[in-house]
């Protein structure tokens, strides 16, 4: 079990105090507290905690709206702490990107598993997003390089293999990525077309 920095938000100061005590007993650090969803979002952005625990019903901005913002901005994973266990509330929490859901009254023993699971799921999601970004970049590079090869083939009567070899050679000699070389060729082609 590793210690986590948390932001907690609940409009009931007694619940916040109890939650803080439980979390600290478990070895976690409560970096910030808020009594409304808007303040929770601001604290999360400012403090960059490992995890945010939000009550659902709070003034200014409810916990589900705050969860959607915090999750959408990829600030931290969110656990909801609420008295509501109805299916529509759980569905809304899921849509908001919540990674854990605890129903009041809760016990200290329930907190640690919820925290560990939320942190693990968040790491998994971050890794998957990184892989997706890498795949998008690879696809974009292939698309741009393919267009650049077609221009070289047309302009210089090269084979596809030779056009690719020239792109690679230029990349190596200039220290620029293959995509940057291909984009430069596309830009030159656009300029030439504009002049005609």
Per-residue confidence (pLDDT) for residue 158, from 0 to 100: 87
Q: What are the structural domain ranges in the chain?
A: 5-106, 131-195
The domain 131-195 is placed in CATH, from the list 1.10.10.10, 1.20.1560.10, 3.40.1350.10, 1.20.1290.10, at 1.10.10.10
pLDDT score of 161 more than 70: yes
pLDDT score of 42 more than 90: yes
% pLDDT > 70, the chain: 99
Measure Cα distances from 56 to 67, 80, 148 in Å.
9, 7, 53
Per-residue confidence (pLDDT) for residue 1, from 0 to 100: 62
Q: Residue 27: CA atoms inside 13 Å, Cβ hemisphere, count?
A: 7
Tell me the two tokens of residue 125.
């999601």
- The model's pTM is 0.69
pLDDT score of 153 more than 70: yes
Which is nearest to 125 in space by CA: 101, 99, 93, 91?
99
Average pLDDT over residues 174-195: 84
For the stretch 110-122, pLDDT in tens is 899 999 999 989 8
The domain 5-106 is placed in CATH, from the list 3.40.640.10, 3.40.50.920, 3.40.50.2300, 3.40.140.10, at 3.40.50.2300
């Amino acid at each position: 079990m590793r210690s986590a920095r948390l932001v907690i938000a609940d409009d009931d100061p007694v619940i916040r105090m109890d939650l803080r005590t439980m979390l600290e007993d478990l070895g976690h650090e409560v970096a910030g507290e808020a009594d409304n969803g808007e303040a929770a979002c601001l604290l999360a952005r400012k403090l960059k905690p490992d995890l945010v625990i939000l009550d659902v019903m709070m003034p200014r901005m409810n916990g589900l709206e705050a969860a959607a913002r915090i999750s959408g901005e990829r600030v931290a994973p969110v656990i909801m702490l609420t008295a509501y266990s109805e299916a529509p509330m759980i569905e809304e929490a899921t849509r908001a990107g919540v990674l854990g859901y605890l129903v009041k009254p809760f016990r200290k023993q329930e907190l640690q598993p919820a925290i560990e699971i939320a942190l693990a799921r968040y790491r998994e999601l971050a890794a998957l997003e990184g892989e997706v970004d890498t795949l998008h970049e690879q696809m974009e590079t292939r698309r741009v390089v393919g267009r650049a090869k077609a221009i070289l083939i047309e302009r210089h009567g090269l084979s596809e293999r030779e056009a690719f070899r020239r792109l690679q050679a230029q990349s190596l000699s200039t220290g620029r990525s293959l995509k940057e070389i291909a984009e430069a060729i596309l830009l030159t082609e656009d300029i030439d077309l504009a002049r005609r």
